[in-house]
Structure 1
Amino acid sequence: MAKKSNRRLLREKALQVLYAYELNGERLTELCELILSELSSQTDIDFANQIINKTIANKNLLDEKIQEKVANWEMDRIALIDRILLRIGIAELLYFPDIPPKVTINEIIEIAKEFSTSNSNKFINGILDAIYNDLKNSGQLNKSGRGLIEESIPRKQKKS
């Protein structure tokens, strides 16, 4: 089995915090301290906390974006893990300009394969891909830096 990337482990920790928080609805600080306690790097702790905080602070908006794509489904019919993973993915697309969209989507899909049902990865992929395309087409995708946007780079024309 391939070694997991550090960021994937951090996303998994964020998922664990968000899942526990969703179930009990309180003591977020304690949950973060407990679940993130084994992280030694402040950079890692900060990244995990950013995911957690952006996901919680923007939960209603994130859920609206999910609901737009699953119009015939009640939100509570979507498995809790899948809802949280979708929220994390959309939060990364919206609020993390330095993370390429394809990286976000692939990471969330891989985490779904490990933590959710056998078909969750396909479901999540479809929803995140549709939301990514909507954000890109509406100009709401705020990504910058090398490798973060899928625009073709104009090549220098050869002199004749």
Structure 2
Amino acid sequence: MTLLRRRATRERVLQTLYAYELSQEPISSVLENVLGDFHSDQQSLEFAKRLIQEVISHQPEIERLIKAKVAHWEYNRIAVIDKLLLQMGICEFLYFPDIPPKVTINESIEVAKTFSTENSGKFINGILDAVLDELKKTDSLRKTGRGLLNGNPHSKSAPPASPEEPSDDQ
């Protein structure tokens, strides 16, 4: 799946989660309404549906991780779009072992630039970085294959990504 298709898919996931959050309709109804006209390849559609389901089913755990990193902010005052992007990013860290964390963070920032406020990219970058560090420290990050693009996430001494590394198409 190309980078642009994956980004468009993440954008559609964000739109779906936002509609679900605001409408409180059953997710099946929201999926049909928002993804019904999503003309993409089967792999993109499966990724979208899986990311949506993982975010919803692990929301309490994911929110706990976010709240621990935004202790000096009122969680309820964080923009809904920013919360959803954080939830999506953390979900990718935890439940999508083949997606490198660097790609998840970069994509979250790029989607925030399109759908959220001017400062959201920096905010999302900081929170996702902090959560990623915590997941590494607690050995909770399980990356395989392409997810290991930036070194072994299980090792606290993983080498930093070099600027010469080929870009990932996730």
- Is the shorter-chain TM-score for this pair beyond 0.5, marking a shared fold? yes
Per the alignment, residue 42 of structure 1 pairs with 42
Q: CA deviation at 1:4?
A: 6.3
The alignment partner of 2:94 has SS state of: helix
Per the alignment, residue 127 of structure 2 pairs with 127
Q: CA deviation at 1:73?
A: 1.5
What is the root-mean-square deviation in Å for CA atoms of aligned residues?
Answer: 1.7
Tell me the alpha carbon deviations over residues 10-66 of structure 1, each in whole angstroms, 9 at most, x when there is no partner.
000000000000001113112212222222422211100011000011111111100
Q: Which has the larger radius of gyration?
A: 1
Does the C-alpha gap of structure 1 residues 121 and 46 become closer, same or farther in structure 2, counting only changes over 3 Å? Answer: same
Q: Unpaired segments of 5 or more residues in structure 1?
A: 154-160
Per the alignment, residue 91 of structure 2 pairs with 91
Does the C-alpha gap of structure 1 residues 133 and 112 become closer, same or farther in structure 2, counting only changes over 3 Å? Answer: same
Per the alignment, residue 55 of structure 1 pairs with 55
Q: Say whether the 8 Å CA contact 2:98–2:146 is kept in structure 1.
A: no
Structure 1 segments (4+ residues) deviating >6 Å? none
TM-score, structure 2 as length reference: 0.83
Per the alignment, residue 100 of structure 2 pairs with 100
Identity among equivalent pairs (%): 51
Distance in 2, matches of 1:117 and 1:109, equals 11
TM-score, structure 1 as length reference: 0.88
Q: Say whether the 8 Å CA contact 2:63–2:87 is kept in structure 1.
A: yes
Q: Say whether the 8 Å CA contact 2:94–2:141 is kept in structure 1.
A: yes
Per the alignment, residue 20 of structure 2 pairs with 21
Per the alignment, residue 157 of structure 1 pairs with none
Distance in 1, matches of 2:10 and 2:91, equals 12
Does the C-alpha gap of structure 1 residues 43 and 77 become closer, same or farther in structure 2, counting only changes over 3 Å? Answer: same
Opposite residue 150 of structure 1, the aligned amino acid is G
Does the C-alpha gap of structure 1 residues 26 and 146 become closer, same or farther in structure 2, counting only changes over 3 Å? Answer: closer
Q: Unpaired segments of 5 or more residues in structure 2?
A: 153-157, 160-170
The alignment partner of 1:98 has SS state of: coil
